[in-house]
Amino acid sequence: MAAPLLEIKDLHVSVAGTEILHGVNLTVIAGEVHAIMGPNGSGKSTLTKVLAGHEAYTITKGSVKYQGKDLLALEPEIRAREGVFLAFQYPIEIPGVSNTYFLRAALNAARKHRGEKELEADAFLELVKQRAKLVEIDAALLNRPINEGFSGGEKKRNEIFQLTMLEPTLAILDETDSGLDIDALRVIAGGVNAMRSIKRGFIVVTHYQRLLDYIVPDFVHVLFDGRIAKSGKKDLALELEKKGYSWIEEEIARTNPGSIKV
């Protein structure tokens, strides 16, 4: 078996003194797509932010290895240059900073990190054109300040567009499907699927099974109260859709009474 791309062991995370994750274990091999599902407040977004390096979270226990390195010791920008990408649930607007200008700086920072030459303006624009087509994003939007005046759907498209530009090794999608209509969902899933490769791992966080009809996962995990409560193949998502998350809660109560804090 190949060496894991990402190895999360017994991860405990607190924010403002309250523990949110109570010991998460997860292993992702390059080429795999892992879906993480779970009810609101189960810690899904916390997990994604911790992996990207957000300062608000304190790791109290456990470890995260990425390509054999201690991921938690790296600054967010180093993680990004090493190939970790988080598509945000709520992409923010940044007035005055042009999308393409920033993206070129980001791309070249990663290239420099890998010891490659910076991408020339022409080659960069060619890449922009090509990848914009992939997620059907209007090229005119890309010259505007980041997400300024974008609709909710356009912001999500822009996140996946950035993913296709930066070609990460580990892509983490945080509820990319929220707020999207079915057509936009299909386009975005198409962009993600085009990026699937044996060299790349995905963690797809979603509340609903719907997204997984389009981005078909290899594994499905249920995050419940800060722990992975159940793991399975893609059928698990269908079962969750049918039975709801209360089914998981009942199952935990049955097999491990007293473990659920109310």
Give residues 216-255 in contact with other proteins (rule: CB under 8 A): none
* Shortest reach from residue 144's CB to other proteins, in Å: 13
SS3 at position 32: coil
| Smallest gap from residue 164 Cβ to other proteins (A) | 13
Going residue by residue from 59 to 98, which x/- string records binding to other proteins, judged by CB under 8 A?
Answer: ----------------xxx-xxx---xx-x--xx-xxxx-
Integer CA distances (angstroms), 100 to 8, 43, 168, in order? 34, 33, 18
Q: Rounded distance, CA 21 to CA 15, Å? A: 10
Long-range contacts of 195-199 (CB under 8 A, 24+ apart): 195/163, 195/164, 195/167, 195/171, 196/33, 197/31, 198/30, 198/31, 199/30, 199/31, 199/169
CB neighbour list of residue 162: distance below 8 Å, 6 or more residues apart = 85, 87, 103, 106
In the complex with other proteins, which residue's Cβ is closer, 7 or 82? Answer: 82
| Nearest of 8, 57, 6 to residue 227 by alpha carbon | 8
Q: Give the x/- contact pattern for other proteins in 104-123, rule: CB under 8 A.
A: -xxx-xx--x----------
Contact code string over 156-195 relative to other proteins, x by CB under 8 A: ------x---x-----------------------------
Cβ 17 to other proteins, closest distance in Å? 19
Binding residues for other proteins, rule: CB under 8 A, are 52-55, 75-77, 79-81, 85-86, 88, 91-92, 94-97, 102-103, 105-107, 109-110, 113, 145, 162, 166
